[in-house]
Amino acid sequence: MSTHAIPVSKKRLYADVQKLTAVYPPRNYQNLESLNAIAHYIHEEFKKWDCPTEVQAYDAEGNTYQNLIASFGVGHSTRIVLGAHYDVCGDQPGADDNASAVAGLLEVGRLIDQLQPSLNCRVDLVAYTLEEPPFFQTPLQGSAVHARSMSQNKVDIKAMICLEMIGYYSDKPNSQQFPIPELAAIYPSVGNFIVVVGKTGEETLVQEVKTSMKQVANIDVQAINAPPQMIGITFSDHASYWNEGYPAVMINNTSFYRNPHYHETTDTIDTLDFDKMTEVVRGVYQAVVNLA
């Protein structure tokens, strides 16, 4: 499929990020009204497509929180899961973390609905709640709830793709940092690439996703397989699926190794590069379709 045959809308990506970042007070676990407003928005967007949708509600510390799910190709037993979290850490707008990824998730869904690619797997798009502290890497993290439900129901997941911070890029020299010095010798020092992150032992899946993205996306796509013990490798929703024995990767701009606005009030929409984000989403769509 040519790049032009995947009509990613930069305008729609911007509108979705704007919607998520404009809600006040910010969409964190303490501001339930705001979080529910965004959950409602996501679900309403899901319902515009010709596919079944579901709300996975669960209780945490006396409140009810929601994962939102849209499913294509429901006749197939094997699944691909594409997910992104919609909550933020504290009182900040969370444009890159993680409105950028939610916008990407919604756009991939619109593209599947519009282009109707041939799917040999069921594709579940999942918007997660409670990825951020204090629920991060606990059983109440939204993706942990979803992954556990998949495992308990013995669902066959071929691959999970996590979208985590896909909007921030920099062309400045030495704008890219690394958790260990050895990586600086391998990867670019300029933070204008996207990376497919996987754990050691899942090299084939990482390379499949990278290759698919590079087929159509006009952006540098890097890849890494590393032990989960390396700082940052488990820092999103894909790790919830690893915990249940499922293969998973994260699509990420390296987060705090690049973006100075990480978990700050300055994580605003004007800091994002929607041209590069458009290319990432184009690549993710292609990766999902190729895997399915």
Q: Which region, left, alpha or beta, applies to residue 142 given φ > 0 means left and ψ of -120 to 50 means alpha?
A: alpha
Q: What is the pLDDT of residue 4?
A: 59
In this prediction, residue 1 carries a pLDDT of: 46
CATH number of 3-291: 3.40.630.10
Answer for the pair 213, 283: CB distance below 8 angstroms, yes or no.
yes
pLDDT at position 5 is: 83
Phi, psi of 55 (to 5 degrees): -110, 120
Phi and psi at residue 94, to the nearest 5°: 60, 50
- Judged by DSSP in three states, 265 sits in coil
**Residue 173: helix, strand or coil by DSSP?**
coil
Strand order in the sheet with 194-199: 53-60, 63-72, 122-128, 78-85, 156-164, 248-252, 194-199, 221-226
List Cβ neighbours of 281 (8 Å cut-off, separation of 6 or more).
Answer: 8, 13, 103, 104, 107, 108, 166
Q: What is the dihedral of CA 236, 241, 244, 246, to 10 degrees?
A: -140
Average pLDDT over residues 152-174: 98
User: Which residues, in sequence order, are CB contacts of 31 under 8 Å at separation 6+?
Assistant: 25
- With 90 as the cut, is the pLDDT of residue 288 above it? yes
Question: Is residue 9's pLDDT more than 60?
Answer: yes
CA-based end-to-end distance of the chain? 15
Quick one: DSSP state of residue 218? S
- pLDDT > 90? residue 163: yes
Interatomic CA distance for residues 134 and 132, integer angstroms = 6
Q: What is the mean pLDDT of residues 136-144?
A: 98
Q: If pLDDT is split at 50, 70 and 90, which confidence band does 186 have?
A: very high
Output the DSSP codes for 37-70: HHHHHHHHHHTTSSS-EEEEEEEETTEEEEEEEE
Q: By percentage, how much of the chain surpasses pLDDT 90?
A: 98
pTM of the model: 0.97
Distances (CA, A) of 281 to 36, 85, 158, 174: 25, 16, 20, 25
